[in-house]
Amino acid sequence: MLRLEARPNPSKPMQALTPILAVLATMVAGGILFLLLGKNPFEAIRMLFWDPVLGEYAFYYRGQILIKAAPLIMIALGLSFGFRANIWNIGAEGQFIMGAICGGAVGLAFYPMEAFWIFPLMIIVGTLGGMLWALIPAFLKNRFNANEILVSLMLVYVAENFLAAMVTGPLRSPVGMNFPVSRSFNDYPAANNPELITGSGLHWGVVTALFLVIVAYVALTRHIGGFQVRVAGQSSRAAKFAGINPKLMVAICLGLSGALAGMAGIFEVTGPAGNLSTHLPLGYGFTAIIVAFLGRLHPVGVLMAGLLLAITIVGGDIVQTSLQVPKASIQVFQGMLLFFLLGFEILINFRVRLTIKGAA
Amino acid sequence: MDFSAISPVSLIVSLMIASTPILLAAIGELVVEKSGVLNLGVEGMMIFGAISGFIAAVTSGSPLIGFIGGAAGGALLSVLFIILTQYLMANQVASGLGLTMMGLGLSALLGYSYAGIKPPASAHLDIAGLSDLPVVGPILFSHDIMIYFSIALVAGVWYFLNRTKAGLILRAVGENHDAAHALGYKVIRVRLLAILFGGACAGLGGAYLSLIRVPQWTEGMTTGAGWIALAIVVFGSWKPWRVLIGAYLFGGVTILQLNLQAVGVNIGAAYLSMTPYIITIIVLVVMSADKKRASINAPAMLGRLFHASK
C-alpha cells in the first residue's frame, strides 16, 4: 500500500523535477489521447514538440513561437506574483482585452497623424487600462470583501462584450465595409508594432517580455517587495508581523498582473493581431495560468514554461491541420499538463512510502 | 419599442427555464462547500455534463437517459478533482481551474461531431384541467419534469443538511475536519461523496442547458453559468432556499435583458449581454460586504487541505 509521509521541509530537487515529470507524463497521456482519436501517437507528439522547433519548416514556426510566447510570459509573470501571495487573478483575459481596447483607441484617435510618440503612448495607456480593469476586483475585495476570483472572471465576460460593442460602434473602421473590425494598425506606421527582423517573429512585445523576466527575477530575489509577496503567500499572520499591509498587497498584486496583461494586449493588437476585432481574445489569459504554475511561479521558470506552451500552441496547429484532429485536443493536452503538475506537486511536500499492508 | 410584446406569464416561465441550470449546479456546489471543499471546476463539470448528456440523449433517443448521462459525466469529471485534492493534496483553487479547462477541452473534443443536431424533446407535465388554467397553468403545472426535480432537489438538500445525521456529519467535516476526524468520521470519504454529488448536479445543470434550454450543442455553451453558480452559493449564504431565490433572481435578469434585446431597446445588444455578469458582481459585493454575516454560514474549513497525520 502507498502511504504519504509529510516531509519536514519541501524537497528542493523535487521542486525542479516536478515540471519535467509533468511534461513527460503529459506526453504519455497525450499520446494515448491521440491513439484514441485514431492517430499515430508518436507522429502527433513529434509534430507537437519537435516540428515547431527543429522540423523542416521550423524557420517559419520559430517566429510564431516567439509571437505566442511573448504574451504568455508577460501575463504569467504578473500572475505568478499574485499566486505566490495567494491572490487569484484569473481574469487576465479580460485585462488583456481592456488593454488592447484602451491603447488601441488612443492610436485610432490620432489617426492619421505620424509622430514617434504615438506608439509608446498607446503602450502606456494600454498598460494602464489593464491595470485599472484589474483594480476593480482589488477594490471590491478590499472594500467589500468580495471574492477576487469570481469578480475578475466575471469581468472577462464584461470585457468581451465591451470589445464587441466597441468594434461594432465607436471603434469600427470607416473603411472596413461594415465588418466589426477597427482600422488596421499594420497600415498605420505610427501605431504599428512591426516585426523587427523579417521572419524572426521578434517584435517590441517580445523584447519587453524578455526584459520583464529579468526585472521580475531581480525583484523577486533581491528586493524587499518580492520577499513580502512570498511571506504574504506563506502565512498571512507572519505577513502581519512583518509589517505587510494585506490590502496594499491585494492592490499591488492585482494591479501589477493587470498591467502586464494589458500591456500584452496592446502589443498583440498593434502587432500580430493587426486590428481590434471579436477574434482578438485567443485565451492567452487562461493559458498563462498554466504557464505560471508550470514555471513554478518563478520568473525564469515562467520564461521556459511560456516557450514550451507556445511550442504546443504552434505544434497544436500543425497537428490539427495535418492529422485532422479537432482544435480542442490541444486544449485537453494543456489541461492534462496542469493536472499532472498539480498532482506531482505532492512529491515536494510528501514522501511516498511503500508499506506492506498489515505490517504498518 | 413595444413593451406589450413582453408577456408577464411567458416571462416567468422562461425565467424558470433560464434559472434551472444554474440552480442545479449551485445546489450541488452548496453541498460540496458545506463539506469544506471549494470546487471551482463547476463550469467544467457543467459543460462536460452538457455534452455527455447530449450524446446520451441523441444516441438513446430518450431525454431521461440524457439527464442520467449528464449527471454521470459531471460526476466522472469530478473524480479528477477528488484524486488531486483529496488524495494528492493539491491546491483546490488551482485544481478547480484545471478542471474547468479540462472540461471545456474534453467537451469540445467529444462534441466535435454533434453540432447542429436536435436532441429528443423532453416531456412536459400535463394534468388535464390544471395545466390549461390561465396564468397558474403555465407557471405551475406545465413545465418539463426537470424543473420540478430541481425544486425537489433543493428541498431534499435542505432536509439532508438540517434534519439528518449524515447531513450533520457533513457539516461537521466542513466546520472542523480535525475534530470530525478525531470523532472517527471519515473526512475524505464524506468529502468524496459530496464532490461526486456536486459533480452530478453540475452535469445535470449542463444537460438541462443542452437538452432543454438551448436545445442543441455548441462549443463553450455554458458561457460562465458555472461561475455564476459559484457566486449564487455566496449570494444564498450557503442556505438551500436562498440559493433557489438567488438562481431565480439571476434567471430573471437574464430573461429580462434577452427580452429587451428582442423588443429592440435602444441600448446595444453587447451592453445588455453584460448585465448578468455585472449583476453577479454587484450581488457578490452586497452579500460579502457585511463580513460578520458572510462568515456565519460559510464553512470554516472551506478550501483547506486535510491530512490525517497532522
pLDDT in tens, chain B (310 residues): 456 666 777 888 888 899 999 999 999 999 999 999 999 999 999 999 999 999 999 999 999 999 999 999 999 999 999 999 999 988 898 899 899 999 999 999 998 888 888 888 877 777 766 777 777 777 777 778 899 999 999 999 999 999 999 999 999 999 999 999 999 999 999 999 999 999 999 999 999 999 998 888 988 898 889 999 999 998 888 999 999 999 998 888 888 888 887 777 767 788 888 988 998 899 888 888 777 766 677 788 887 888 776 4
A221: nearest Cα among A69, A345, A82, A81: A81
Q: Which of A341, A119, A221, A130 has the alpha carbon at shortest distance from B94? A: A341
Would A340 be classed as within a structural domain?
Answer: no
Interface test with B, best of A338, A341, A344, A347 (most B CBs within 10 A): A338
What is the full DSSP assignment across A78-116? HHHHHHHTT-----HHHHHHHHHHHHHHHHHHHTT---T
Q: Which residue has the cell 491603447?
A: A103
The domain containing residue A255 runs over which residues?
Answer: 40-324
Q: Which of A149, A154, A339 sits opposite B84 (nearest CB)?
A: A339
DSSP state string for B8-66:
HHHHHHHHHHHHHHHHHHHHHHHHHHHTT---TTHHHHHHHHHHHHHHHHHHHS-HHHH
First to last CA, chain A: 10
Show pLDDT as tens, one digit a residue, over chain A (360 residues). 677 788 888 888 888 888 899 999 999 999 999 998 888 999 999 998 888 988 888 888 888 999 999 999 999 999 998 898 888 999 999 999 999 999 999 999 988 888 899 999 999 999 999 999 999 999 999 999 888 999 999 999 999 999 999 998 888 888 877 788 888 888 888 888 888 887 788 889 999 999 999 999 988 877 777 777 777 777 667 777 777 788 888 999 999 999 999 999 999 999 998 899 988 888 899 999 999 988 989 999 999 999 999 999 999 989 888 888 888 888 898 899 999 999 998 888 888 777 765 544
Q: CA of B67, closest CA in chain A: separation in Å?
A: 24
Q: How many domains does chain A have?
A: 1
CB contact (8 A) between residue A331 and residue B105: yes
Residue A194 has a pLDDT of 83
State residue B272's pLDDT score.
86
Q: Are the beta carbons of A312 and A44 closer than 8 angstroms?
A: no
CATH for A191: 1.10.3470
> How confident is the model at residue A359, as a pLDDT?
47
Q: Residue A248, Cα to own-chain centre: how many angstroms?
A: 24
Is residue A285 in some structural domain? yes
Give the chain B residue nearest A6 (alpha carbons). Answer: B309
> Can the peptide bond before residue A112 be classed as cis, meaning omega within 30 degrees of 0?
yes
Say if A9 falls within a structural domain: no
Strand partners, A5: A351
Buried b (16+ CB within 10 A) or exposed e, B13-52: bbbbbbbbbbbbbbbbbbbbbbbbbbbbbbbbbbbbbbbb
Q: Do A157 and B277 touch (CB under 8 A)?
A: yes
Using a 10 angstrom Cβ sphere, with 0-12 exposed, 13-18 middle and 19 or more buried, the burial of residue A213 is buried
DSSP H or E stretch at residue A3: strand A2-6
Query: Residue type for B299, please?
Result: P
Identify whether A332 is part of a domain: no
A38 in B contact zone (CB under 8 Å): no
Sorted by sequence, the CB contacts under 8 Å of residue A328 that are 6+ apart come out as B104, B105, B106, B107, B108, B109, B112, B219
Would you list the DSSP string of A246-257? HHHHHHHHHHHH
Q: Domain for residue A339, yes or no?
A: no
pLDDT attached to residue B5: 60
The domain ranges of chain B are: 3-117+137-297
Compare CB distances from A6 to B278, B281, B309 and report the shortest one's residue.
Answer: B309
Reading the block at residue A134, the C-alpha cell is 484589474
pLDDT value of residue B6: 65
Q: Do A332 and B105 touch (CB under 8 A)?
A: yes
Q: Is A254 contained in some domain?
A: yes
- Among chain A residues, the shortest Cα distance to B295 is held by A145
Distance CA A188, CA A205 (A): 18
In 3D space, the residue among A348, A354, A360 whose CA is nearest the CA of residue A8 turns out to be A348
Q: In B, which residues are within 8 Å of A162 by CB distance?
A: 270, 274
Say if residue A337 is exposed, middle or buried (CB neighbours under 10 Å; 0-12, 13-18, 19+). buried
Residue A169: the pLDDT is 85
pLDDT reported for residue A360: 42
Q: Is the Cβ of A153 closer than 8 Å to some Cβ of chain B?
A: yes
Q: Give the domain B3-117+137-297 fold.
A: ABC transporter involved in vitamin B12 uptake, BtuC (1.10.3470)
Report the C-alpha gap between A73 and A261 in whole angstroms: 10
Distance CA(B70)–CA(B222), nearest Å, equals: 14
